[in-house]
Amino acid sequence: MDKRAQQFYAESMMVPIGAGPQLHLKRICEDKFSPGPPVFMLHGLAEDGKIFYSARGRGLAWYLALQGYDVYVADLRGRGKSWPAVGAKSSEGLHEAINEDLPALIKAIVRKRGPVPQIWISHAWGGVLTSSFFARYGEEFCPVSAMVYFGCRRAVGDGGWRKALALRGFWKTGLRFASAITGYMPAKDLKLGTSNETRQTFVDALRWMFDSQWKDPVDEYDYSIAAKTRKYPPSLYFACAADTVYGHPDDVRAFIAELGEHNGRLIVLSESTGSQQDYGHIEMLIAEQAVEDHFPLLQDWLASEGSIQSFEDEEPSDDLLPA
């Protein structure tokens, strides 16, 4: 672990969903008795929370903790350290992620910190989930001071043969076939990601990627209409010029437009615009150069949006289960 990180407070919490599954929530902060603004981080498809942190003290979660933030990194149901792991009997999909997992995770942070404004940061499909959640519930569970997106897009537009082969060929056809055989999408088994996905999540996500409609797969709630009626908080979007498949800048721009009129800014990372390298979809978060290239841009933007301020916490709660 980085020597600077050794002085920080880190804990793992398990957040129960009813009497069944438990969601893992990793907390990293400088001082748990006087923490800074709370930051909620959500991973994307075939990922878990470790996209934001490593055991060695590297990653965006540690970086923001070093800046004084109180960081909470989630593992969605069955991913990472959440329990039980995704398997053939796992039946939850996007509806459950938006209407059960996210409320439980957000409320867990509120129990720790009180009803203070939160900053939400997401990668890839995690941004679709947080945006869907905000479209449906707004600030019902807590105020949100800012939202940050890394390589997030919902629908897949045109983008050449590589994108068509990867998404429309391999993901839409090959992995759909594999998930029909195994009962789940075997991303980890095939070394395509760090976590497997439930078959229902995979099917739901494909429908949203390749369909113009953005509706809940269970109750038909129309997120596209709801998003236009919400006033999203100030939002910062990162895309990579070299990420032509999973987070194409044009798809990111289309996603920004889907969220309606709001205070949003897009930064496209590339060597031609001053980055030390042409980042990929994952590298934008895990590459060592990110600490010098765009993590400071994020920090400066958060400071300019007024998210650094003093908060008075309620008494800490012990109602979360230890990992």
Ordered by start, the domain boundaries in the chain are 3-314
Give the rounded percent of residues in the chain with a pLDDT score beyond 70.
88
Residues in the chain: 323
Cβ proximity of 146 and 307 under 8 Å: yes
Cα 75 to chain center, whole Å? Answer: 9
In angstroms, the Cα distances linking 225 to 135, 137, 214, 216, 318 are 8, 13, 9, 12, 39
* DSSP calls for 53-95: --TTS-SHHHHHHHTT-EEEEEE-TTSTT-BSPP-TT----HH
pLDDT at 159: 63
Predicted pLDDT at 167:
65
Q: Which CATH architecture has domain 3-314?
A: 3-Layer(aba) Sandwich (3.40)
CA 216, CA 206: separation in Å to the nearest integer? 13
pTM as predicted: 0.91
Residues sharing a CB contact under 8 Å with residue 228, sequence separation 6 or more, in sequence order: 260
pLDDT of residue 6: 64
The pLDDT tens digits for 281-303 are 999 999 999 999 999 999 999 99
Which tens digits make up the pLDDT trace of 166-218? 666 666 677 777 888 899 999 898 888 899 999 999 999 989 988 889 999 99
Give the whole-angstrom CA distance, residue 140 versus residue 87: 32
pLDDT digits (tens, 9 = 90+) for 15-37: 999 888 999 999 999 988 889 99
